[in-house]
């Protein structure tokens, strides 16, 4: 084929079929695999050997940043303009707790949302798999397995035959 290939896309009827096919593909030596499904499919990450996501660490970083910002802000404003209110302490941790807690949550939640989008490479409105003729059903009721063209074992004809043999409803090649 003259044009550059992105990979081979196979359509499956159910999450179970997808899981079985993904397992077979791993066993057949394919490494550059991704799946597309209308909802998260349990166990797929173990079969495809994805690394554990690191969103929790991003969230923790955000939380620490939020708490530090809030405390620094409150300590500084009271240091810069100390106001004696009936002899109450200038730096009461108990009175600073609420704003500190809120900013911890705020920074952490936003860090996780943007971290998730960043790691996923979103927004990216166009992507090769969208060229798949039946791919619109990936958001409806079909489950897709994609073998990347840069996989060491990828061969257009052979891979398509392999995917058909793994129980796919339809297979096709998607251009880059």
Partner 1 sequence: MSEHSDILPTRQSMGGMTDQLTGIPLHFPADRRWVIAMTVASAMLLLLMVSVVALFTRGVGIWGINIPVNWAFAIHNYVWWLGIGHAGTLISALLLLTGSEWRNSLNRFAETMTLFAVVCAGIYPFLHLGRPWYVYWMFPYPATMGVWPQFRSPLEWDIWAVLTYLTVSLAFWYTGLIPDLAAARDRATRRGWQVFFGITALGWRGSARHWQRWQQAYRLTAGLAVPLVVSVHSEVSLLFAAGQIPGWHSTIFPPYFVLGAAFSGFAVVSIIAVSLRSWFGLKNLVTDDHLDLLGKVLLATGLMTGYGYVFEVFDAVYSGEAHEMQTLVDRFTGAYAWTYWGAVIFNFIPLQALWWRAVRRSGWMLLLISVSVVIGMWLERYMILVTSLYRDFLVSSWSHFTPSFWDWSTYFGTIGLFLVPFLIAVRLVPMISIFESKELLHEEKEGQQHG
Instruction: Name the residues that contact partner 1, by CB under 8 A.
Output: 14-15, 34-41, 44-45, 48, 50, 53, 55-56, 59, 73-74, 77-78, 80-81, 83, 85, 88, 92, 95-96, 98-99, 101-103, 105-106, 108-110, 112-113, 115-117, 119-120, 122-127, 129-130, 136-141
Between 2 and 83, CB nearer to partner 1:
83
Distance in angstroms (rounded) separating the CA atoms of residues 27 and 15: 18
Structure-token match 């059903």, residue found = 137
Between 2 and 81, CB nearer to partner 1:
81
Between 29 and 88, CB nearer to partner 1:
88
Nearest in space to 144 (alpha carbons), one of 4, 6, 22, 47: 22
Between 86 and 157, CB nearer to partner 1:
86
Between 102 and 155, CB nearer to partner 1:
102
Q: Return the bridge partners of 5, or none.
A: 175
Q: Return the bridge partners of 147, or none.
A: 8, 33
Exposed/middle/buried for residue 7 (C-beta within 10 Å: 0-12, 13-18, 19+) = buried
Q: Which two tokens stand for residue 63?
A: 């939380």
CB of 64 to partner 1, least distance (A): 14
CB of 121 to partner 1, least distance (A): 9
Nearest in space to 20 (alpha carbons), one of 35, 7, 40, 3: 35
CB of 37 to partner 1, least distance (A): 5
CB of 120 to partner 1, least distance (A): 5
Distance in angstroms (rounded) separating the CA atoms of residues 174 and 167: 19
Distance in angstroms (rounded) separating the CA atoms of residues 132 and 158: 19
CB of 151 to partner 1, least distance (A): 15
CB of 152 to partner 1, least distance (A): 20
Between 123 and 157, CB nearer to partner 1:
123
Distance in angstroms (rounded) separating the CA atoms of residues 60 and 140: 34
């Amino acid at each position: 084929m003259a044009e550059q290939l992105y990979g081979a896309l196979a359509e499956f009827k159910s999450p179970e079929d997808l899981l079985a096919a993904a397992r077979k593909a791993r066993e057949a030596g394919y490494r550059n695999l991704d799946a597309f499904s209308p909802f998260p499919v349990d166990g797929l990450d173990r079969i495809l050997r994805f690394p554990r996501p690191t969103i929790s660490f991003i969230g923790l970083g955000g939380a620490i940043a939020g708490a530090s910002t809030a405390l620094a802000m409150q300590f500084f404003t009271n240091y810069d303009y100390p106001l004696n209110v009936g002899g109450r302490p200038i730096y009461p941790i108990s009175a600073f707790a609420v704003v500190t807690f809120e900013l911890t949550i705020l920074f952490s939640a936003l860090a996780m949302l943007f971290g998730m989008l960043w790691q996923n490479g979103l927004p990216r409105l166009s992507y090769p798999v969208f060229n798949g003729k039946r791919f619109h059903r990936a958001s409806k009721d079909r489950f897709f397995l994609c073998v990347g063209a840069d996989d060491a074992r990828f061969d257009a004809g052979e891979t398509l035959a392999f995917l058909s043999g793994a129980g796919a409803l339809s297979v096709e090649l998607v251009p880059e």
